[in-house]
């Protein structure tokens, strides 16, 4: 997927259960997710980082279009977390209102420009499904955080982002969520003991709503 292209995920409603796929998206939250006072978790300015101009790409699920703009950000040089496929850096996005600038940007260990854009398209698909789910007035609502892709001027040999480097760096960015992350399920059928009911209900609902075409799993997040 590239800016201006249609989503690779297809329509929300599916017709053939034989086309079942598991849409893996994390960073959902059971209940509302407030971003107020996010900056309290970050040391300002971010240690060792300078402000730089990057290109920010946002996806609109309703129109299936990408929108791009130049923004100023600060990205911490050293990652604060690491997963199996990506490393996470703290970031401030100065195009956002004060109090909502704290973000997390994720770099793939095996860089893939295309996959970063596909990841954001999937996130927006999950957000659209959550909005439909919430229309049924469940006991607990589900909300997915906003996400986007940023293209930085380059990257240094140590992995930090720098305009002096030769090649561009493509990163997926999500709003920073304050609180303790919990993993509610995965794409292999795992559900932890005493897991909350809402994530499991939402996963099941997405499968039923799309008539077996999609299932949103690998859900993790914060809040009740």
Token pair for 54:
């990057």
Mean pLDDT throughout 28-44?
A: 43
CB atoms under 10 Å from CB of 112, counted, come to 13
Provide, rounded to the nearest whole percent, the portion of the chain with pLDDT above 70. 71
Pairing of strands 214-217, 21-24: parallel
What is the per-residue pLDDT across 167-214, written as a single tens digit (0 to 9) for each?
678 999 999 888 888 889 998 989 998 888 999 999 999 999 999 999
What is the per-residue pLDDT across 124-133, written as a single tens digit (0 to 9) for each?
999 999 999 9
- The answer to whether the CB of 128 falls within 8 A of the CB of 143 is no
Write the CB contacts of 113 (distance below 8 Å, at least 6 apart in sequence). Answer: 170
Query: CA 121 to CA 128: how far, in whole Å?
Result: 11
Exposure string over 117-146, b if 16+ CB within 10 A, otherwise e = bbbbbbbbbbbebbeebeeeeeebbbbbbb
Query: CA 166 to CA 108: how far, in whole Å?
Result: 18
Instruction: Supply the CATH classification number for the domain 35-179.
Output: 3.30.200.20
Nearest Cα to 90, choosing from 45, 27, 57? 45
Mean pLDDT throughout 120-145?
A: 95
Answer yes or no: is pLDDT of 106 > 80: yes
Nearest Cα to 175, choosing from 84, 95, 61? 95
Query: CA 216 to CA 218: how far, in whole Å?
Result: 7
Query: CA 205 to CA 149: how far, in whole Å?
Result: 28
| Domain extents in the chain | 35-179
pLDDT of residue 43: 53
Distances, alpha carbon 178 to alpha carbons 30, 49, 218, in Å: 13, 22, 19
Q: Point out the least confidently predicted range of 29-38, 97-106, 167-176.
A: 29-38
Run of H or E including 119 = helix 113-135
């Amino acid at each position: 997927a590239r800016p201006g292209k249609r989503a690779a995920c297809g329509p929300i409603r599916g017709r053939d259960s034989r086309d079942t796929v598991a849409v893996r998206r994390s960073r959902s939250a059971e209940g509302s997710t407030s971003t107020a006072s996010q900056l309290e978790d970050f040391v300002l300015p971010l240690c060792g980082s300078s402000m730089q101009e990057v290109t920010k790409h946002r996806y609109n699920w309703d129109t299936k279009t990408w929108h791009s703009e130049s923004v100023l950000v600060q990205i911490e040089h050293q990652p604060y977390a690491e997963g199996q496929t990506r490393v996470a850096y703290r970031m401030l996005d100065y195009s956002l209102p004060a109090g909502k600038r704290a973000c997390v940007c994720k770099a793939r260990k095996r860089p893939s420009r295309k996959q970063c854009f596909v990841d954001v398209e999937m996130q927006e698909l999950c957000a659209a499904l959550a909005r439909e789910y919430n229309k049924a007035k469940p006991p607990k609502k589900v909300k997915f955080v906003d996400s986007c892709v940023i293209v930085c001027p380059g990257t240094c040999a140590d992995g930090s982002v720098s305009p002096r480097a030769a090649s561009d760096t493509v990163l997926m960015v999500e709003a920073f969520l304050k609180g303790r992350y919990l993993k509610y399920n995965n794409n292999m059928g795992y559900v932890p003991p005493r897991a909350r009911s809402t994530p499991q209900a939402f996963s099941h609902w997405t499968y039923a709503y799309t008539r077996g075409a999609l299932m949103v799993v690998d859900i993790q997040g914060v809040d009740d």
